[in-house]
Amino acid sequence: MTKTIATKSTAKRAPRSSTKATAAKAAPALVLNHTESIDAGDLALDELIASLNAPDEILETPVTMAVAEAAAPIDDAMLSAAVSGAEATEIMVAEATPEGVTEGAAPSGDGTDVVALPVIKEKAAKEPKAPATPRKHYTDKTERLKDKLGAGLSEYSVLTLADAGVDEEELKVVMEKTMDIIRGLNKKESNWAVKMIEFLAGKKSSISEVTGTILKLLHTDGYISTGNDGNVFKTLVARPYSPGSARAMGGNNVGFMKDLKMIIADGKGKFIANPDSLLLMKANSMLFAITCDSDGPSMYSITMKYVPSWVPQS
């Protein structure tokens, strides 16, 4: 007769819920050849506890190795480009090497292979510019004439032969009368007058086109006349100036010439040259050369001594 002995595990185990305890009691006992009966519920619980106490399994992530792609085959074009680049580099190095230097050669030690480097001159420091001369401002045109001409103003203040040859005291009076005449001109007339006097005195390199044209008309026509039918207006419009400009500039020039006694009225609506005008004599000597074409006094030609580009040569 076989004796069955039921044994219980003495290992410590965690408390179980009532449900698990009920299930364990209900499980049938295992009968082994060793005549020991083991509670099936206790064995399953021990295996669970053992699996929980086992160390975590480390999962290794596979490493994927990049495989280099096969190099593209070298063709003739690539080889030619590489050779050309090498040749260009060699030429550039050769050009940068001073003459007389052998590449890779050891120094001679006697100085014969020393190549002087080019001397780089330092730029000279720029000298500071001289301060600009401040522009002078005059109260009127006569102050400008006095400043520009200085003592030479007396020569251009005597307007006619009747005032020439006066003594020093009388000359001062004559000069002041001439300055009063210029002050009495309108602004445009005084501008034209001052520019002409500065030219006659050598302070300007050119006489104005309008003034020169009117002075020549005194010679070619023997007179000057104003208005739309006058030779001054017609000549200036043909230059060409606009009718308004020709009328204004012509009138202002005739006006200052009359007041400075360069021209006189002939009583017929025209102006003729004043034979006693010293300013007109000076202008004629600087501008014109009069030559006779025949024995007759009326047959003459006029050429300009001073010929700026604007002067009509008719």
52-111 residue pLDDT tens:
666 655 555 555 555 445 556 677 788 888 888 888 887 776 766 666 556 666 666 666
**Mean pLDDT across 113-139:** 75
CA 314/CA 303 separation, integer angstroms: 9
Burial class (CB in 10 A: 0-12, 13-18, 19+), 212: buried
pLDDT at 184: 94
CA distances 228 to 2, 126, 221, 224, 270, Å, are: 165, 59, 17, 12, 13
Half-sphere exposure of 144 (CA within 13 A, CB side): 17
Asked whether the CA dihedral 200, 198, 151, 155 is positive or negative, the reply is positive
Q: What is the pLDDT of residues 269-280, one digit of tens each?
A: 899 999 999 999
What does the pLDDT read at residue 121? 75
Q: How far apart are the first and last CA of the chain?
A: 169
Do 199 and 206 contact (CB within 8 A), yes or no? yes
Q: Could you give the angle at the alpha carbon of 229 between the alpha carbons of 224 and 235, nearest 5°?
A: 60
Tens digits of per-residue pLDDT, 20-45? 444 445 445 444 444 444 454 566 67
How much is the average pLDDT of 185-208? 92
Model pLDDT, residue 37: 47
